[in-house]
Amino acid sequence: MSMILALSVTGIGSSSKASAATARTPIVLVHGLTGSDSNFTAIESYLRSQGWTRDELFAIDLPSKQGNQLLNSAAISRFVDDVLRQTGHTKVNIIAHSMGGANSLYYIINRGGDSKVDKLITLGGANRLTTTTAPSGIKVTSIYSTSDTIVSPVLSRLNGANNVSVSLVSHIGLLFNSRVNALIKTALNE
């Protein structure tokens, strides 16, 4: 398991700590149910077109495709620690889709992620499966669609978060939509 995680970390980002001094906060991309680390290809491409580098983007392939929070939050914890060691940074930003939002929130609340995450951006996140309130000390943006037929906007909204509604975007479409990309960029730059 740890070998797979290590390969994922080195497969997307650089192994050079030298770039950490000038690099932005690393971004960890967390997929949802039945997903994989390749779910964020379009968002990763967009972020690179906006100035982020491959050395700043890290996609995890979660062990439980069914969204088991105990397994996945432990994997996220190890992955984030690996990214922090590799980059020399003390915090990451997380962009999570669907159940990846709930798994990321579980990591933040129950596995020490509150001290390692600066910003959490969820896309159609099943956030309320974990909590109804954004964790304090972390900038949380929940982007969701009124057209999502998989995760209801009611599940995505969090008290204390920047809740942003879009329309005419499907659940999977949140990973490929230019309006959503612009909202992600804004949240990362705040």
> Catalytic residue positions?
98, 148, 171
Q: What's phi and psi for 184, nearest 5 deg? A: -60, -50
Instruction: Evaluate whether 44 touches 59 at the Cβ level (below 8 Å).
Output: yes
What does the H/E/C string look like for 22-82?
CCCCCEEEECCCCCCHHHHHHHHHHHHHCCCCHHHEEEECCCCCCCCHHHHHHHHHHHHHH
d(CA 59, CA 36): 9
CA distances from 180 to 143, 150, 169 (A): 8, 17, 9
Q: Do residues 148 and 126 make contact, with C-beta atoms less than 8 angstroms apart?
A: no
Phi-psi region of 153 (alpha: psi -120 to 50; beta: other; left: phi over 0): alpha
Collapsing DSSP to helix, strand or coil, 96 comes out as strand
